């Protein structure tokens, strides 16, 4: 009589299974590939956020320029949303052609911080629209570098 482990059917079943060593090798290979891909993609993600922040800041700068053309200088110390999205009380209904942005999310940079308007501008004569980068603080390098428009 044949022992159950020596039957052909039992050998075929065990030949189809993976050993723990094979599974570990596959997991290590996947880990190495993921590390290589991540190290190449992370700088691109940072770069795309910086480019997006510049484009969004330019959109906000265009909205501020349109507001200034319609209503004159914005009130000193007023948040961007307070005059781009809602008519200020000191501006007549005829002069205000807003809202100057489609929605308030356009006032956020890719890191979720609100753009800041520096009036009068430091880089530009009239005003600057600034994103303080990933850390939300003035100054910095790389992802934390300030982005100034128009």
Domain that holds residue 84: 4-149
What is the distance in angstroms between the CA of the first residue and the CA of the last residue of the chain? 89
Instruction: For 8-67, write each residue's pLDDT tens digit.
Output: 555 555 567 888 988 999 999 999 998 888 888 777 777 888 888 888 888 898 888 888
CA distances from 24 to 20, 27, 29, 32, 38 (A): 6, 5, 9, 12, 21
pTM (2 d.p.): 0.68
Q: Using CB atoms within 10 Å of the CB of residue 132, give its burial: 0 to 12 exposed, 13 to 18 middle, 19+ buried.
A: buried
pLDDT score, position 13: 57
Instruction: Read off the CATH number of the domain in which 74 is found.
Output: 3.30.700.10
Instruction: For 60-117, write each residue's pLDDT tens digit.
Output: 988 888 888 888 888 777 788 888 888 888 888 888 887 888 888 888 888 899 898 8
Strand order in the sheet with 116-118: 116-118, 128-131, 147-149
How many structural domains does the chain have? 1
């Amino acid at each position: 009589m044949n022992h159950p482990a020596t039957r052909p059917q039992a050998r075929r079943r065990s030949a189809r299974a993976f050993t723990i060593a094979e599974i570990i090798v596959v997991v290590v290979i996947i880990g190495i590939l993921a590390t290589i891909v991540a190290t190449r993609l992370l700088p691109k993600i940072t770069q795309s956020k910086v480019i997006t922040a510049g484009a969004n800041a330019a959109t906000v700068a265009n909205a501020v320029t349109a507001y200034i053309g319609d209503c004159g200088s914005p009130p000193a110390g007023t948040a961007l949303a307070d005059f781009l999205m809602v008519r200020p009380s000191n501006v007549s209904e005829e002069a205000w052609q807003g809202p100057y942005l489609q929605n308030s999310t356009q006032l956020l940079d890719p890191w979720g911080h609100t753009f800041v308007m520096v009036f009068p501008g430091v880089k530009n004569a009239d005003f600057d629209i600034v994103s303080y980068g990933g850390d939300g603080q003035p100054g910095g390098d790389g992802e934390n570098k300030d982005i100034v428009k128009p």
